[in-house]
Chain A
């Protein structure tokens, strides 16, 4: 049993670097997807939807990947704290942006967009 545990630990010590690197890469890719969405979507509200990909899955995958690469529990705990604060504050920031746009009177584009219709959004 002790032998097995030692083996599992040795395997984990080797495997966590490629696994963490892969997760970080996936998170970075999702952030890129979010950016593409921000550039493509027509108005401020729809762009916020694209930005929320970066906020949620991109940040989460990056943080989990960094936890895999972390040298000890202390660093992992700090990353967990960062994730917790991010999950509490990023929706608040998105809501503040959307609410500011709404209060300022920015009219959202309603109805079908794309595939035939031309993109006539600003803001």
Chain B
């Protein structure tokens, strides 16, 4: 039920932000489209943790600012690597074991790695991620432990990791 309410609220907020009209007719049309979308989502059976993660994901609110700071730091490193007069990189392929349990946490972790410049998730198999890094020393499995723990905590709640 909470996921359903979260979906309806998110849809309503998104609709208002996109249209900005407040005439009764337009609002009614918006309401009808939201109800229709909710019914279709219910029939598709996708109103769950993954389909409508708008409620109970407050952990992500704390996680994203940290991730943004990490992205800014990593950006600086890759920008320097791009502009250095002599190309000086040491690419590496490493296997990272994750503590994330649920699929959503794993996806968040893999996406965070890819979003951070200088590291890309190439493949996920079970709880092991194949990560390609621009610098060998910056992409050892220990370097991702902190992000891994924060991801698991943000998505799966305090109990995980």
Q: A57-B71, A111-B90 are in contact. Are A81 and B120 (CB under 8 A)?
A: no
Interfacial residues of chain B within 89-111, with CB under 8 A of chain A in the complex: 89-93, 110-111
Q: A49-B134, A74-B20 are in contact. Are A37 and B82 (CB under 8 A)?
A: yes
| Contact yes or no, B91 A45, CB < 8 A | yes
0 or 1 for each of B49-93: is its CB under 8 Å from A? (1 = yes): 000000000000000000000011001001101110011111111
Nearest-Cβ distance from residue B136 to partner chain A, whole angstroms: 8
| Contact yes or no, A114 B117, CB < 8 A | no
Measured as residues with beta carbon below 8 angstroms from the partner, the interface class of chain A is 35 or more
| Contact yes or no, B78 A110, CB < 8 A | no
Which of A53, A78, A80, A109 contacts B78, CB < 8 Å? A53
Count chain A CB atoms within 10 A of each CB in B17, B110, B112, B136 and give the residue with the most. B17
Interface SS of chain A: helix
| Contact yes or no, A33 B89, CB < 8 A | no
0 or 1 for each of A95-123: is its CB under 8 Å from B? (1 = yes): 10011011000001111111100010000
| Contact yes or no, B120 A95, CB < 8 A | yes
A-B contact pairs, 17 of them (CB 8 A): A36-B82, A40-B82, A43-B91, A48-B132, A49-B117, A52-B114, A52-B117, A55-B115, A56-B117, A78-B17, A78-B18, A81-B17, A88-B111, A91-B114, A95-B121, A102-B122, A119-B87
Q: Which residues of A contact B (CB under 8 A)?
A: 30, 33-34, 36-37, 40-43, 45-46, 48-50, 52-53, 55-57, 74, 77-78, 80-81, 87-88, 90-92, 94-95, 98-99, 101-102, 108-115, 119
